Structure 1
Amino acid sequence: MRSVAQRARREPTQRRPRVASGRARPAEAGERGESASALPLSGANGLARLQGILPELRAAERRVAECLLAKPDDVVRISITELAERSQASEATVVRLSRKLGFSGFQELKIRIAQDLVAPVQQIHEDVLPTDDAATVRSKVFGATAAALASTEKVVDVRALEEAASAIHQATEVVFFAVGLSAWVAADAAQRFTKLGLATQALHDGHAQATKAALLRPGAVAVGVSHSGSTRETVRSLELARGCGATTICITSFGRSPITRFADIHLFTSARETAFRTEAMSSRVAQIAIVDTLFVLVSLKRYDQAVRNIARVREVNADKRF
C-alpha cells in the first residue's frame, strides 16, 4: 500500500476551479496578471493584433476575440457587459484579453478598433467630410445634437425621472460622481440643485469620490454620470454609496453596462454618434437635458423655497455683472 507521501508525489494537486462571486464586479476589475504576454503598443492595429494572438488564447478569451473579429463594427457600440454576454465570457476575461493585446482595458481596445474602422475625419464627427464648408458642418453638428435630444426624450423613462426627482427632493444630501467630460455635467448639476437649498456637491477626483461614497448614509442620494457606463471610478462610487444605504441614480447611454448594476434608478440618454468617438459630443447635451428636467421637477416639488432661493441668488450676484 502506497504511503501518503508517495501518493502526493505521484498525484499532482488538482487546482480547484475559481467560483465567481454572486455580485458582479465593475467593468475594469479584472485580473491584472499575464501582462508579460501583452503585445507592444506600437505596430499592428487592434484587429490585426486580435488575429495574430488568436492561436495563443484560452477558450474564453478566444470566444471574446472571435466575437470582436466577426462583427468589429458592433464593438464600438456596445458596453463591456454586452460583449461579455455575447461571447459567454466574464467581464474580467474581456479586460484580460485587452491587456494581453497591450491595452489598458476594454475602453482603449474599443478606441483602437474604432480608429481601424473609420476615416480620421470621422473621429471628429461621424457625418463630417473633409470637403465640408462651415455651413455644412454647422448643419450636421446641430442636426446630430437635435437628434440626440429627440431620441433621449423617447428613451428616458418618465417614471424613472419622477422617482429620481422625489429621491433628490427628500435627500439629506446629493452627491454627483463623474470624471472626464461628464465631470462638467456633474458640476453644473451640483450648482443648480444648490440653488434649491439642497446640500449638493460634485466630485471628479477618484480618491475624493471613493472617500465620500464610503461615508454616505441612508437618506443621501448618489448620482453617477457616465456616458459609457463603464468608467471605473464612477461605477465604484455608486457601488460604495449603495453599500452604505444611499439611493443611487445613473445617467448613462448604455442600458447593459456595469454602472446599471449599482444604480437603483436608471436614466438613459441616446446619442447616435457614440460609435466613432471616445466621448460622444451630443451625449453631453443629452445629459444636461436630463439634469435640467430633474431640476425643474424638484423645483416644482419645493416651489416656494425654489422661487425664494433663485431670487436671492440673483440678488447677491447682481453686482458681479456689468
Structure 2
Amino acid sequence: MNSQDIFSLIHSRYQSFTNTEKKVADYILEHTKDVIFMSITDLADACNVGESSIFRFCKTMNLKGYQEFKIMMAHSISPDGEAPQLSSKITMEDTIEELSSKILSSNVSALTETYNLISKEDISLAVDRMLKADKVHFFGVGSSLMTALEAKNKFMRITNKAECTLDSHLQIMSAALMSEKDVAVLISYSGSTKDTIEVAKVAREAGANIIAITRFAKSPLTNYSDITLLCGANEGPLQGGSLTAKISQLYLLDLLYFEYFKRTYNQSTTNKERTAKAVIEKML
C-alpha cells in the first residue's frame, strides 16, 4: 500500500484526471470527514456518478480499490495539535477511566442509533419470511462470520432450520442450492465485501429471500436484498471488526430472535428445553 499522503497524491494528479474523476476528487477534498464513513454507493450518489467511476478513480490512484483508498485516507488524516488517535475518539493519552467512558459512550451511541433506524415493518416481514422458510442460512466472512455463527448458535436452540457455513467456497455452494423456500441472512458492515456480495447474488439467482444486516442503506449488497436492516455503528477503515459494530448487529439479531420466539412460543419453548437438556451433561 502506498504510504504517501492521499491528499497530496490527489493534488499532484488532479490535472490528469478525467472530468468525472475531478468531480470525485473535489467532493473528497471538500468532505473528508464524511467520506471516510461512506460506502462506495454513498460516495457515488453524493458525486452523482456510478460506482464504477469511484472504482476507476481508485485505480487511477494506483490503489486496489475503494477500501484501500479509505485506509490510505485514514492514515493521511492527522488532527492538528491533538494526540495520535487509535480510533475516531480514543487517543494515546486517554487514561483507563477515559477509555472506559469513551467505549461505553460509543457502544451506547451505536445501540441508540440502531434503535432509531429500526423499521418495525421490516422486522415483522423478516420474521415472517424466516417462519415460512425451510432453512435460514446465516452468511458472513471475517468478523461478520463470528456474528453469523452467534446468530446460528442462538436460533438453533429453538429451531432446526438455522445454518451457518464457515468456508467461503462452501458458503457459495450452499447459496447455489437454496430455493424460494429458504432465507439467506447476510451480515456485512460495509455491504461491499466481495465474497458476501457473490453469495447474495447466487442466493438471489436460486430464488432465496435475502435479508441484509449492514450499515449502509445503499451498497452493492443491498442491491440484492429483499429486506435491509441497518445497524448504527460508525466504523472507520482502520477499525475493521470493531465490537461496537458487532454489538449493533447482535442487537438486530436479538430482535429477530425474540420476535420469532414470540410467534412460535409453544414450539420454541419445547425446543429450548430439549436443547438445554441435551447439553446439561456437559456442565459440572
Do they superpose with TM above 0.5? yes
Segment of structure 1 superposing worse, 310-319 or 196-205:
196-205
Q: After superposition, what is the alpha-carbon deviation per residue over 1:36-68, rounded to whole angstroms, capped at 9, x for unaligned?
A: xxxxx4441222222222222222222222221
Contact persistence 1:179–1:234 (CA under 8 A): yes
RMSD, aligned α-carbons: 1.9
Aligned to 2:159: 197
- 1:239-287 deviation per Cα after TM superposition (whole angstroms, max 9, x unaligned): 2212221110000111121211111011111024547634443111010
2:73 aligns to what?
A: 113
Partner residue of 1:249? 211
Provide the residue aligned with 2:53 in structure 1: 93
The change in CA–CA distance for 1:42 and 1:264 in structure 2 (over 3 A counts) is closer
Secondary structure of the 1:251 match is: strand
Separation in 2 of the partners of 1:231 and 1:204?
15
- The farther-off stretch of 151-160 and 81-90 is 81-90
* Alignment partners' CA distance in 1, 2:39 and 2:2: 25
Amino acid at match of 1:197: T
- State whether residues 37 and 235 of structure 2, in contact with CA within 8 Å, keep that contact through their aligned partners in structure 1: no
Verify: 1:269 aligned to 2:231, yes or no: yes
Equivalent residues of 2:213, 2:249 under 8 A apart: yes
| Paired positions, count | 281
What amino acid maps onto 1:81 in structure 2? Answer: T
Quick one: which of 90, 100, 104 aligns to 1:128? 90
Letter in 1 for 2:52: A
- AA aligned opposite 2:74: A
1:42–1:267 Cα change, 3 Å: closer
Q: TM-score, structure 1 length as denominator?
A: 0.82
CA distance in 1: counterparts of 2:171 and 2:12, whole angstroms: 40
- The residue type equivalent to 1:256 in the other structure is K
Give me the TM-score of the superposition, normalised by structure 2: 0.92
What displacement does 1:165 show? 1.0
Identity of aligned residues (%): 27
The aligned residue for residue 145 of structure 2 is: 183
2:260 matched residue in structure 1: 298
- Work out which of the two has the higher radius of gyration on C-alpha atoms and give 1 or 2: 1
C-alpha distance in 2 between matches for 1:225 and 1:288 = 10
Does residue 230 in structure 1 map to residue 227 in structure 2?
A: no
SS at match of 1:201: strand
* Corresponding residue for residue 13 of structure 1: none
Partner of 1:31: none
SS at match of 2:211: strand
Query: Which digits, 9 at most, give the CA deviation of each residue in 1:93-138, with x for residues without a partner?
Result: 211221232322101111111221146843x332223222212211
Contact residue 71 and residue 237 of structure 2 kept, 8 A? no
Q: Which residue of 1 aligns with 2:17?
A: 57
Cα distance in 1 between the residues matched to 2:203 and 2:3? 42
Q: Distance in 2 between matches of 1:87 and 1:180?
A: 30
Contact kept in structure 1, 2:3 and 2:72, CA below 8 Å: no
- Could you report, residue by residue, the CA deviation over 1:74-94 in whole angstroms, capped at 9, with x for unpaired residues? 211211011112222221121
Is the contact made by 1:249 and 1:267 (CA closer than 8 Å) also made in structure 2? yes
Work out which of the residue numbers 160, 164, 173 in structure 1 matches 2:135. 173
